[in-house]
Amino acid sequence: MTAYTKPLPEMTPWSKKFWESTKLHKLSMQRCNNCGKLIFYPRKACPECWSLDLGWQEVSGKAKLNAFTVTMAGVEPVFAPDLPYVLALIDLAEGVTMMSNIVDCKPEDLKPGMDLEVTFRDCTDNISLPLFRPA
Amino acid sequence: MSKGKIAIVGIGEVPTGWYPERHEWDIIYDSCMQAVTDAGINKNEIEGVICSPAVGQPKLDSELVFGKLPEELGLKGCKDIVSVNGGGSTSANLLRMAEHWITTGIAKIVLIMHASKYSSIDPNVVIHTFATSGMSMEWEYPFGTTYNGMIAMLTERFMDKNGVTAEEMASIPVSFRKWAELDTNAMFRKPLTVQEVLSSRMASTPLHAKECNMLADGGGALIVTSPEIAGKICKTPVYKLGEGSRYCQATVTQRPEELMATQVKGAAQDAFREAGLTVKDMDILELYCAYPITMPYLLVALDVCKNGKEAMKFIEEGNTWPGGKLPCSTIGDALSRGHTGSGVGFAYLVETARQLMGKAGERQVKNCKHVLMNCSGGSGMNQIIEIFGRNLK
């Protein structure tokens, strides 16, 4: 693997499990054991009820494309070799929305609402980013 | 509640643009001296100074935060100085702080200011600053976000849902440019056509280069005081009549689609209720858009238009242009004026006062009595709506 030069996610103590999970090519979300709310991004306390009793749940990785853009220019040098690349808002089947990139898809084939599935990019020994591709 | 508690009595502003040879304190000198002259006061009558942050310019920012301005300009009557930072919503917060100082007797006459100088910063540092500020460093930035990219996603979704064409979207920068053509303080003044917007380089689909901002140098200053003092020293004081604000969440990609519209409505309701006015009473909407998509969003949220498609038609037909039914964004917004970091909101505040004072020259909207302005910080973390008038009622 060539050395990964792009910025890595700046983790918090509460998101560690999320990234441990993506390392295993699994997508997991925090869940509040008190009110049942699925929480993204991970927090110390549930943003609904402030419970500190939070657990984790693996999610399906199935998703729909909410919105996207094909980035063509105006990026930092470390992202320039990737141009053009797709930034997207992803609606997970479990009701959480997150940002990611769409890969393995020609820009002209992108359609709002299209079905997607998670895939993983191993960046370093510790970090794998969750990306999405057409399902 | 702030109805009629403060008045703007003097305005100063330097042209926005790319002036690498100009020292940042030269911007501050000129805009502050203009404001003092315009107010017809002596510099030593200023009792308080409230500064904007210089986003991405650590040296200037720390000079302002640590109180250099009154010393440098010799403001001998200054009792205190502070910086207030609400990102792009700083302008409204400067006024709130000024109101507190004026109504509690901390200072009778207050200078508020903004200055930015981006032209001498390494372009890569500027790109980095604006790729990361207002972004989540964990959940957005690692995927290659830019401000353009974030707004581009929302623009694509807006166009898809409302059946809006690229030509219609391009009519928004054209509307801005119509105003900037008449504005000697604007960075881009050459007439612009829909075709020119569409043939500019694609930055992040569907946004073309001419639908994205260019950072610029700029600065402005205002003199603020109580209505009582304003009545004695100023022929054309501008009164703040109402305001409302709502929080809209910090992370763009975690913001529910309808939240911004709901929050703008709430903020506007509060502002109109306090002012005892409605949107129909407004002679100008000074809409701080930053990107084209904000204009139709705000026109719908403020009940000027029923939906996105109708808002696009409203803009395309020239209703927001000079001479139009409802002049909007009369500084040409960030796209034509030049983006000065936290200064676009300040430029709108200066323009609001200028229009209500009748000092807007070729851009002057006739018989301008009431102006609504909005501002918003970060990546849209909040929406503040303010209403100003040239009379206290």
- In chain B the domains, ranked by start, together with CATH numbers, are 7-121+215-233 (3.40.47.10)
Q: Is residue A78 part of a domain?
A: yes
| Contact across the interface for B144 and A98, Cβ inside 8 Å | no
Going from the C-alpha of B97 to that of each of B110, B112, B169, the distances in angstroms are: 10, 10, 37
A119 has a chain B CB within 8 A of its CB:
no
- Is residue A132 domain-shared with residue A77, that is, in the same domain? yes
- Is residue A66 domain-shared with residue A129, that is, in the same domain? yes
Select from B127, B149, B201 the Cβ nearest to the Cβ of A71: B149
Q: Is residue A2 part of a domain?
A: no
Per-residue tens of pLDDT for chain B, all 393 residues:
568 999 999 999 999 999 999 999 999 999 999 999 999 999 999 999 999 999 888 999 999 999 999 999 999 999 999 999 999 999 999 999 999 999 999 999 999 999 999 998 888 887 788 778 778 999 999 999 988 999 999 999 999 999 999 999 999 999 999 999 999 999 999 999 999 999 999 999 999 999 999 899 999 999 999 999 999 999 999 999 999 999 999 998 899 989 999 999 999 999 999 999 999 999 999 999 999 999 999 999 999 999 999 999 999 999 999 999 999 999 999 999 999 988 999 999 999 999 999 999 999 999 999 999 999 998 899 999 999 999 987
Going from the C-alpha of A16 to that of each of A49, A87, A120, the distances in angstroms are: 22, 24, 17
Q: What is the model's pLDDT at position B120?
A: 87
Give the gap in angstroms from C-alpha B336 to the nearest C-alpha of chain A: 19
Select from B139, B146, B254 the Cβ nearest to the Cβ of A71: B146
By the 8 A CB rule, do B220 and B14 touch? yes
Provide the phi-psi class of B359: left if phi over 0, else alpha when psi is between -120 and 50, else beta: alpha
B317: DSSP letter: T
B339: DSSP letter: B
- Is residue A81 domain-shared with residue A135, that is, in the same domain? yes
ipTM of the complex: 0.97
pTM of this prediction?
Answer: 0.95
| Contact across the interface for B143 and A70, Cβ inside 8 Å | no
Q: List, in sequence order, the alpha helices (H) in B104-146.
A: 123-132
A85 has a chain B CB within 8 A of its CB:
yes
Q: At what angle do helices B259-275 and B294-301 cross, to 10 degrees?
A: 50
- Is residue A44 domain-shared with residue A65, that is, in the same domain? no
Q: What is the model's pLDDT at position B133?
A: 78
| Contact across the interface for A41 and B145, Cβ inside 8 Å | no
- Is residue A86 domain-shared with residue A41, that is, in the same domain? no
**3-state class of B38 per DSSP?**
helix
- Is residue A54 domain-shared with residue A64, that is, in the same domain? no
Quote the CA–CA distance of B275 and B291 in Å, as a whole number: 28
Q: What angle do CA B72, B77, B78 make, to 5 degrees?
A: 60
Q: What is the model's pLDDT at position B127?
A: 79
Q: What is the model's pLDDT at position B344?
A: 96
- Is residue A74 domain-shared with residue A132, that is, in the same domain? yes
By the 8 A CB rule, do B216 and B119 touch? yes
Q: Is residue A97 part of a domain?
A: yes
Quote the CA–CA distance of B287 and B317 in Å, as a whole number: 18
Residue A30 is part of which domain span? 13-58
Q: Is residue A49 part of a domain?
A: yes
- Say how many C-beta atoms besides its own lie within 10 A of residue B43's C-beta: 17
Q: Is residue A4 part of a domain?
A: no
As given in the structure block, the two tokens for residue A113 are 């609402």
Q: Is residue A84 part of a domain?
A: yes
Q: Is residue A40 part of a domain?
A: yes
Q: What is the model's pLDDT at position A49?
A: 98
Select from B124, B139, B205 the Cβ nearest to the Cβ of A70: B205
Q: Which residues touch B13 (CB under 8 Å, ≥6 apart)?
A: B31, B34, B185, B218, B219, B220, B221, B347, B350
User: What CATH number should be reported for the domain holding residue A109?
Assistant: 2.40.50
Q: Is residue A27 part of a domain?
A: yes
- Is residue A41 domain-shared with residue A101, that is, in the same domain? no
- Say how many C-beta atoms besides its own lie within 10 A of residue A77's C-beta: 10
| Contact across the interface for B203 and A40, Cβ inside 8 Å | no
The residue type of B348 is Y
Residue A16 has pLDDT above 70, yes or no: yes
Quote the CA–CA distance of B266 and B246 in Å, as a whole number: 7
Q: What is the model's pLDDT at position B1?
A: 57
Quote the CA–CA distance of B109 and B77 in Å, as a whole number: 10
A55: DSSP letter: E
- Is residue A100 domain-shared with residue A36, that is, in the same domain? no
The residue type of B30 is D
- Is residue A20 domain-shared with residue A41, that is, in the same domain? yes
| Contact across the interface for A71 and B144, Cβ inside 8 Å | yes
> Strand (E) positions, A9-134?
28-32, 38-39, 54-58, 62-71, 85-92, 97-102, 115-122, 128-134
The count of structural domains within chain A is: 2
Residue A4 has pLDDT above 60, yes or no: yes
- Is residue A26 domain-shared with residue A77, that is, in the same domain? no
Q: Which is higher by pLDDT, A66 or B56?
A: A66
Nearest to B210 by CA among B369, B332, B113, B87: B332
- Is residue A86 domain-shared with residue A117, that is, in the same domain? yes
Q: At what angle do helices B147-162 and B166-180 cross, to 10 degrees?
A: 120
Nearest to B204 by CA among B259, B141, B155: B155
